[in-house]
Each structure stands twice: as C-alpha cells, then as structure tokens.
C-alpha cells in the first residue's frame, strides 16, 4: 500500500517537472503567468478540461501559442483578447460580465433576495395571524 502511494506521488511530481522542461521560461513571473493563463482557458475539443489537462491536438497548439506570447512579453489581457476574438468567450472559464451574462453573475444574489422576500413575507404573515 505504502509503495503504491510512493509510486503515485512520484508520478505526480514527475509530470510537473516534465511540464516545466517542456515550456522553459527566463523568469519566474512568466512561468507563473503561463500556468495561470492555461488554467483560465478552456480546451474547445474536450470542453470541461483546461489547456493544462487536455491532450487534444488543438490544446497543444494553443499551449504552444500561449507559450510564445508569454515569452514575447504579452500581457494577460492581450492574450485573452486575441483568443476570445478567435474562439469567443466560451474559451474562458470565467465569462466576462456583459448584458447576456449579467443574469449568470447576478443570479445567485437575485435568488437569495427572492428567497429572503418569501421568508420575510411568511414571517410577517404568521405574526399577523398570531
């Protein structure tokens, strides 16, 4: 059992080392930016995976592209603007606040408010009856 755990652990560590040697960066900041961006971006082929996890051909191409852009010093917003202009907001796991997504962002607060209204109303009524 213990051996299996060690094997699993070493496999986990080896993949992260492997990922770093595949995409070497000059600075720690760029490395962090690259990893953070890949977590934000959706693979469009296997749609619930991000660009880090996906083995799809397109995901690899997009990883390579993002790598080149990060190395050439592009900012997050420049890279995201380029990718959304090609693939739409769907490539982002966090959709931007827009007219069509406002319900998505405000929905939870709205439902909480509605629930509170119902709660307040029923409390009020019960007090009235008593």
Which is closer to other proteins, CB of 36 or CB of 121? 121
Q: Which of 16, 85, 94, 127 is close enough to bind other proteins by CB under 8 A?
A: 85
Residue 72 makes contact with other proteins by CB under 8 A: no
DSSP the chain: -HHHHHHHHHHHHHHHHHHHHHS--SSHHHHHHHHHHHHHBBPSSSTTSBTTT--SHHHHHHHHHHHHHHHTT--HHHHHHHHHHHH-GGGBSS----TTTHHHHHHHHHHHHHHHHHHHHHHHHHHHH-
Q: Which of 20, 32, 36, 61 is close enough to bind other proteins by CB under 8 A?
A: 61
Q: Which of 31, 87, 92, 101 is close enough to bind other proteins by CB under 8 A?
A: 87
Tell the smallest beta-carbon distance from residue 54 to other proteins (Å). Answer: 12
Applying the rule CB under 8 A, the residues between 11 and 50 that interact with other proteins are 44-45, 47
Which is closer to other proteins, CB of 30 or CB of 84? 84
Report the alpha-carbon distance of residue 45 to residue 22 in Å, rounded.
22
Residues that bind other proteins (CB under 8 A): 44-45, 47, 57-58, 61-62, 65, 84-88, 90, 118, 121
């Amino acid at each position: 059992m213990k051996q299996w755990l060690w094997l699993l652990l070493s496999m986990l560590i080896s993949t992260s080392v492997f990922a770093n040697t595949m995409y070497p960066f000059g600075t720690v900041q760029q490395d962090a930016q690259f990893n953070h961006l890949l977590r934000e971006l959706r693979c469009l082929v296997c749609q619930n995976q991000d660009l880090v996890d996906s083995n799809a051909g397109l995901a690899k191409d997009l990883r390579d592209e993002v790598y080149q852009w990060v190395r050439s010093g592009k900012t997050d917003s420049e890279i995201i603007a380029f990718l959304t202009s090609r693939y739409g907001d769907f490539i982002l796991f966090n959709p931007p606040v827009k007219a069509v997504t406002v319900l998505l962002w405000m929905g939870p607060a709205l439902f909480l408010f509605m629930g509170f209204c119902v709660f307040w109303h029923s409390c009020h009524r019960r007090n009235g009856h008593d």
